[in-house]
Structure 1
Amino acid sequence: MQRTLALVFVSFLSAFAGAAPAVAQDDPPRDDIILPGENVDLEEFMWTKRPLVVFADSPADPRYVQQMEYINERLDDLALRDVVVLTDTERGADTALRRELRPRGFMLVLIGKDGTIYLRKPLPWSVREISRVIDKLPMRQQEVRERRGGES
């Protein structure tokens, strides 16, 4: 009886262990989600990522600190939506991001995979609010449909 229970237990564990890697592979990667924006060209993300640009005049700006807290709390949600966060906290820097987007103090900018600016906000937004905007985009809706079709 004990031997049978042991075999059942071992079988259960091996089945469970075999399923674990499949779940881990489905999780979105979290590497390189937050990048410094100083030497970034938005063209490199075209059709592959949705840049979320966070500008501030200083890394000590309370709005910047709050926004980065929101982002760090829900990195998985952003990774799932192919978001890359670009930060620029050098007020006087002459970066391509600052020339192209022209921030004034703190600014949050969401750019679609097609390069379209979908959101500009002067205050921090939660990842939940940002995700809602992304999820309404036609390209994101297509990605969700394709994912559902692939799972069937």
Structure 2
Amino acid sequence: MKPFLTLVFAAVFAASTSTGQNVPSDTETPPDPAAQAENALQILDAREIDVREYVWNHRLVVVMADTDGNPQFDLQLEAIRERADEFVKRDVVVIFDANPEDRSALRQVLRPNGFMTAIIDKDGEVKARRPSVRSGRELMAVIDKFPLRRQEMLERNPAGR
């Protein structure tokens, strides 16, 4: 009970001593959390998701390793984060799995041997896999060759052949 009261007291105390510096003025519109979430690259743990929710809506870049301390794992996630905005434009969701003991559904299907990066298109097919780190640019080049991606590009910019 004491930790709960401490948290409540801390929240009330922080609210009462606020200087009002973070309150938006009447002329400013507060940022829309839904719009910010929509424009942010989603990086999700494979244990917490059902891949079927993303079929036909998102492409998946799956990064797997035997441990989260794997240097390739860290390099791959960093390469993806560097170009996050470009991945969002391609409807990409990044899924990582560095816990082989958990036996996630993706791990059972992809069966990585150590480190692996895979790209799953919107139709649910594994289109590319590689046991080494790919740059963000290389991942996007692979995605841009998919037939569904080419169709999307033509629909968004019909004169841009």
TM-score normalised according to structure 1 size: 0.77
**Corresponding position: 1:30 with 2:54:** no
CA distance in 1, matches of 2:51, 2:71: 26
**Corresponding position: 1:101 with 2:92:** no
For residue 150 of structure 1, report the CA deviation from its aligned partner.
9.7
Equivalent of 1:72 in 53, 71, 81: 81
Number of the residue aligned with 1:136: 145
CA distance in 1, matches of 2:116, 2:50: 18
**Corresponding position: 1:55 with 2:75:** no
Number of the residue aligned with 1:110: 119
CA distance in 1, matches of 2:153, 2:71: 35
Deviations for 1:115-147, whole angstroms, at most 9, x for unmatched residues?
111111000101100111111111111111111
Q: 1 or 2 for the larger relative contact order (CA 8 Å, sep ≥6)? A: 1
**Corresponding position: 1:88 with 2:97:** yes
CA distance in 1, matches of 2:128, 2:59: 12
Deviations for 1:72-95, whole angstroms, at most 9, x for unmatched residues?
111011101000000001022221
CA distance in 2, matches of 1:30, 1:68: 15
For residue 59 of structure 1, report the CA deviation from its aligned partner.
1.1
TM-score normalised according to structure 2 size: 0.72
For residue 41 of structure 1, report the CA deviation from its aligned partner.
2.1
Matched ranges for 1:6-45 at <5 A: 29-30=39-40, 33-45=42-54
Gaps of 5+ in 1: 1-24
Deviations for 1:4-38, whole angstroms, at most 9, x for unmatched residues?
xxxxxxxxxxxxxxxxxxxxx8xx7115x111111
For residue 149 of structure 1, report the CA deviation from its aligned partner.
3.6
Q: How many residues align?
A: 124
Contact 1:40–1:97, Cα closer than 8 Å, also in 2: no
**SS of residue paired to 1:131:** helix
Contact 1:40–1:96, Cα closer than 8 Å, also in 2: no
Deviations for 1:29-86, whole angstroms, at most 9, x for unmatched residues?
115x111111322211110000111001111101001101101111011101000000
The one-letter code of the counterpart of 1:127 is G
Gaps of 5+ in 2: 1-34
Going by fraction, where is helix more abundant, 1 or 2?
A: 1
CA distance in 2, matches of 1:41, 1:35: 11
